[in-house]
Amino acid sequence: MIGCGSVTERKSGAPAINKAHHSGLVAVVARKIEKAADYAQRHGVPKWYNNIDDLILDPSVNAIYIATPPDAHLEYAEQCMRAGKPVYVEKPMARTYAECEAMNKISEATGVPLFVAYYRRTLPYFLKIKELIEDNAIGDIRCIITALHWPPYPEETGKQAQPRWRVYPEISGGGHFHDLASHQFDFLEYALGPVKQARGISRNQAGLYPADDIVMAEFEFESGVLGTGSWCFTVNESQRLDRSELIGSAGKIGFSFFGSSIITVETPEGLAEYDIPNPPHVQQPLIETIVKELRGEGKCPSTGKTAARANLIMDWITGKSKA
């Protein structure tokens, strides 16, 4: 594993990798050897390094999880794939669609698999939503409306503000929109098919950090389904909102991308609710599909090809490329 950040403490990293069948975390690397050693010792990882080449060339390592900010994904993925090591990359896959495409070309040239951590493709909550769509629980899907409005993080405000890397575009590719909407668009394409075109307006209104803090978008799927979205990360706490609705010809499905475990289905027959909490380590189900594919026993639903699409859609919306 390259990187020992907070995402690896519970969502992924040693807890998820070690609990997946036929899988184990054997080595970690971080720029500071003290950080790698601390992580390894707390999680029972036998080896730790502060040199990436040492980890890549370790003969006991046969696949590598890149758990760094997006600005390093292309460089590290290329090193791993050219060394013949399959790669599992954190999301968003890279800073731009162009970087994603470069990663996919290296995967094709080397024949080394490339996977990306869009774990909602394997979570029971989101698989239930996909099942409801496929079962025509609300008839033909007409549109998707999504809204994600959050207050600023504490470290983003005040005289001593020190925003984290996610709101510096040179590191993350954008701001909170790129970090969070990537999950949303990846799942929506998984459930509804490819997005045909998208456009939007992105602005920095509050001036708390360099990245955009508000984005408004509209998008169209190849199936004809239409969508709208709003993302604002400088609202008051009382205005916090994480709500999406799939509108169909016979009802609607309400759900949350990041918070609630409840799915609601409203039809003329009444209201149905499904309470489907996440597993303790949300990336474990996806990691298990990667292990199965590498063992020749199945397929992972989140690849470099599917993951690059989320970056493409976000590039369309923020004006980095045209639909």
Instruction: Say which DSSP state 118 is in.
Output: -
How confident is the chain (323 residues) per 10-residue block, as mean pLDDT? 95 96 97 96 97 96 98 98 98 98 98 98 98 98 98 96 98 98 98 98 98 98 98 98 98 97 98 98 98 98 98 96 72
Choices 3.30.70.1710, 3.30.1490.20, 3.40.50.720, 3.40.630.30: CATH for 6-118: 3.40.50.720
Average pLDDT, the chain: 97
pTM of the model: 0.97
Pairs from 83-86 (Cβ < 8 Å, separation ≥ 24): 83/56, 83/57, 84/110, 84/112, 85/56, 85/61, 85/112, 86/62, 86/112, 86/113, 86/114, 86/115, 86/290, 86/294
Strands (E), the chain: 27-29, 47-49, 64-66, 87-89, 114-116, 141-149, 195-203, 214-221, 226-232, 241-248, 251-255, 262-267, 270-275
CATH number of the structural domain 124-277: 3.30.360.10
Boundaries of every domain in the chain: 6-118, 124-277
pLDDT per residue as tens digits for the range 111-124: 999 999 999 999 99
